[in-house]
Structure 1
Amino acid sequence: MTPSPLAGLWRAGIWLLCAALPSTVHALDCGTPTLGLGAGREHSHWVERDAQGATVLTERGWLDRIALAAGGPCGAATWEAQWARSQGTRHYDGQTQTGTPVQTSSHLRVDALTLSGWMPVDTFAQTDRQDTDPAWAWGARVGWRQTDRRIASTPTALGYPERFRAWQLALGARWRVHEASGWRLSATGWAGGSPRGTAQVSLPRADPLTLPLGHNRLLALGLQLGSGARNERAGAWSWQLRLESQLETTAAGAARVITRNGVPVAVAWMPEIRQRQTVWSAELNRRF
């Protein structure tokens, strides 16, 4: 399979970002970093649709979530890096390859890495207070996610594991809704996507297979309630409560041949996937 020009540009962009990041951080005179530990719950909803738009599979369930984060100021900008893992079980309501209805469960483990940055927007007049930030900021983030999904077997159908991988880029905006002496409420929004991901599938009685995913689109909204404004008088410890919701649509991928012991036996492709995640979490931070 010949790589597409878009995939080559995507890899080149990621390489340039990684190569330029150390020198950029040094030039921006970054300040004291903050480390955070978070935990919460995630409601996961997964739908697959055929070429005619009909729903062929629905999964929903609750996942446990933990996260590690690091961030801090770099000049006027701020940055944050985060690793998050969500793990749990979803109820599976779908059908076999022959169209027979089947109900079972799927076990999920999702690892996500994100690197994001925010730059304040001087939309409104600023006061002379050193602890006052602009009400608006624009952001950019790059993320990588791996989803391990194992569908449980039933008396009439064998289960199998899948591994989804994809990069995502997004642009965002943040609005400081309200700020008091001891806390701050902010709202954020993100829009973006990715050109293509992959799904590694181990079907029963077949050779392992890698299926391409179609292009991905995402829209995310969030609310963050945190203790204290950013200033030198704030204590080393702080907390944050988050409510985040994300919608994703991944287009159907191209077909690939299924083989058994190297002999072609069928054709398979990943259908259109629609995901919705809603996360409630709490985070404890310490500035060093």
Structure 2
Amino acid sequence: MGLALALPGAVQALDCGAPTLSLATGREHSRWEEFNPRGEPLLTERGWLQHTALTGTGRCGAASWQAQWAHSQGSRHYDGQTQTGTPVQTSSRLRVDALTLSGWQPLGALDRENPSGTTSPWAWGARLGWRQTDRRIASTSTARGYPERFRAWQLALGARWRLHDAGPWRLSASGWAGGGPGGTARVSLPNADPLTLPLGHNRLLALGLQLDGDARGAQPGAWSWQLRLETQQETTAAGSARAVTRNGVPVAVATMPEIRQRQTVLSAALNRRF
């Protein structure tokens, strides 16, 4: 009750505006590669996923914030090899859920007459993200498939540049660089007990281009739209070895190899300001 009574006063003191909700949909091209310790490729997956994102944005003074849940789902073509080195081709089913909290601080002062709210086209930002990837490799005539679940955190710093801001159009570009500590991979291998493999540290680079349309979207209760093009490249180092058990008895050793991912998303969003 105390928090409910104090929150409106705190929002007013921070000069916070009403939030904007955004629903986006689009297509994502996903590429996944794994490499052995010598840098030789073990497998490659590529395919198109359906992408959906729900985003809430707001502004407090000159600073802005964004909270987003993104979901991607679909399949990729799998071209790799079995544990014995036999070439194999199959497919994998993907379900990816990501939560991201980010904030932007412009380099210029607050400008109430500017639709973007600031006098400078430049801003710096920080974001914290968590992602869960469910991947199920399909069985073939020579090898049994199995499911995996990857989880990892990431922290990144970014810069944004407003390329155009006149009339009803606003075009901006952004870039992020960062990484995170080792995550985990929950694996259910055939004829073995489920096990959790550690992932190595990860690093990422991301670029984005965003076109905002309809200046009326700055008014409370109004609608606006966005077009977004985002690409991200991520490398996860190999993890340490863990024992593979069957009915509690060690039978082998497994290690999650180096993983390189690349995602490119093209989406359209509809926004409503409250």
TM above 0.5, yes or no, is yes
Find 2:257's aligned residue among 271, 274, 279: 271
Deviation at 1:281, TM superposition (A): 0.3
- Aligned-partner Cα distance in 2 for 1:142–1:51: 30
- Of 161-170 and 230-239, more deviation after overlay is shown by 230-239
- Aligned-partner Cα distance in 2 for 1:114–1:253: 24
- Of 66-75 and 150-159, more deviation after overlay is shown by 66-75
1:193-234: CA deviation from partner (whole Å, max 9, x where unpaired): 101100000000000000000000000001000114588558
Q: Which residue of 2 aligns with 1:284?
A: 270
- Equivalent residue runs for 1:118-137 within 5 Å: 118-122=104-108, 129-131=113-115, 133=118, 134-137=120-123
> Is the CA contact (8 Å cut-off) linking 1:176 and 1:184 kept in structure 2?
yes
What is the letter of the counterpart of residue 52 of structure 2? I
> Is the CA contact (8 Å cut-off) linking 1:240 and 1:283 kept in structure 2?
yes
> Is the CA contact (8 Å cut-off) linking 2:216 and 2:223 kept in structure 1?
no
Q: Does 2:240 match 1:248?
A: no
1:17-47: CA deviation from partner (whole Å, max 9, x where unpaired): xxxxx99867633210101111000000000
> Secondary structure, in 3 states, of the residue corresponding to 1:78?
strand
Q: Does 2:94 match 1:108?
A: yes
- Aligned-partner Cα distance in 2 for 1:26–1:265: 62
Q: CA RMSD in A?
A: 2.2
What is the letter of the counterpart of residue 223 of structure 2? W
Q: Does 2:203 match 1:217?
A: yes
> Is the CA contact (8 Å cut-off) linking 2:26 and 2:265 kept in structure 1?
yes
> Is the CA contact (8 Å cut-off) linking 2:122 and 2:162 kept in structure 1?
yes
- Equivalent residue runs for 1:132-281 within 5 Å: 133=118, 134-229=120-215, 233=219, 236-281=222-267
Q: Which residue of 2 aligns with 1:55?
A: 41
- Aligned-partner Cα distance in 2 for 1:50–1:146: 23
- Aligned-partner Cα distance in 2 for 1:231–1:285: 8
Q: Which residue of 2 aligns with 1:11?
A: none
Q: Which residue of 2 aligns with 1:6?
A: none
TM-score, length basis structure 2 = 0.92
Unmatched runs of 5 consecutive residues or more in structure 1 = 1-21
- Aligned-partner Cα distance in 1 for 2:83–2:227: 43
Q: Which residue of 2 aligns with 1:86?
A: 72
> Is the CA contact (8 Å cut-off) linking 2:217 and 2:224 kept in structure 1?
no
1:55-83: CA deviation from partner (whole Å, max 9, x where unpaired): 01000000001111111111110111010
What is the letter of the counterpart of residue 138 of structure 2? A
Deviation at 1:180, TM superposition (A): 1.9
Runs of at least 4 residues off by over 6 Å: 22-26, 125-128
Deviation at 1:235, TM superposition (A): 6.7
Aligned residues: 266
- Aligned-partner Cα distance in 1 for 2:12–2:154: 26
> Is the CA contact (8 Å cut-off) linking 1:44 and 1:62 kept in structure 2?
yes
What is the letter of the counterpart of residue 244 of structure 1? E
Q: Which residue of 2 aligns with 1:16?
A: none
> Is the CA contact (8 Å cut-off) linking 2:206 and 2:232 kept in structure 1?
yes
What is the letter of the counterpart of residue 72 of structure 1? G
Taking only the aligned residue pairs, the percentage that are identical comes to 74
What is the letter of the counterpart of residue 284 of structure 1? L
